[in-house]
């Protein structure tokens, strides 16, 4: 068993208006999960992308428009959306304050491929 102090984990700016804090991943010993928080300014979020594994997007604070395939959800605090493996999805802050989203991936390494060629594919293993 391992305990983590998330207060000491850094916030990284992934793109303008989006800050990410990796909480649990292969970097700190996870074998099956990657959990991270994102803090998004109004109108900002994650562009259309996909992961090879399932993902849960949970709104911790604020409101989000989350799209997956042909479906769109408006989610607020304490609501989650299950994103199937391989499904193109994205989200944005559609509120006025900062959106706090917690994402859980069914893999210890964060990997994402984006439709937008200007967005770099990411693999977070640090």
pLDDT value at residue 95: 96
For 121, counting Cβ atoms within 10 Å of its Cβ (0-12 exposed, 13-18 middle, 19+ buried), the class is: exposed
For 27, phi then psi, to 5°, come to -60, -40
Does residue 1 lie within any of the structural domains? no
Does residue 88 lie within any of the structural domains? yes
pLDDT value at residue 118: 61
Structural domain range at position 49: 17-124
- What is the pLDDT tens value at each position of the chain, 126 positions in all? 888 888 888 899 988 999 999 999 988 888 999 999 999 999 999 999 999 999 999 999 999 999 999 999 999 999 999 999 999 999 999 999 999 999 999 999 888 888 766 655 555 555
Task: Identify any residues that bridge with 74 across adjacent strands, giving them in sequence order.
Answer: 65
Counted domains in the chain: 1
**9, two tokens:** 């984990």
Does residue 5 lie within any of the structural domains? no
Does residue 100 lie within any of the structural domains? yes
pLDDT value at residue 14: 86
**In this structure, what CATH number is given to the domain that contains residue 36?**
2.60.120.10
Does residue 9 lie within any of the structural domains? no
């Amino acid at each position: 068993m391992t305990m983590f102090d998330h207060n000491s984990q850094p916030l990284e700016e992934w793109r303008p208006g989006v800050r990410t804090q990796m909480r649990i991943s292969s970097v700190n010993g996870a074998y099956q999960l990657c959990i991270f928080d994102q803090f998004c300014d109004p109108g900002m979020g994650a562009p259309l992308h996909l992961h090879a594994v399932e993902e849960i997007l949970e709104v911790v604070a604020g409101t989000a428009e989350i799209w997956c395939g042909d479906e769109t959800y408006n989610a607020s605090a304490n609501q989650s959306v299950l994103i199937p493996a391989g499904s193109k999805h994205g989200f944005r802050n559609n509120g006025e304050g900062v959106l706090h989203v917690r994402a859980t991936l069914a893999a210890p390494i964060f990997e994402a491929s984006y439709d937008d060629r200007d967005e770099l594919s990411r693999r977070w293993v640090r």
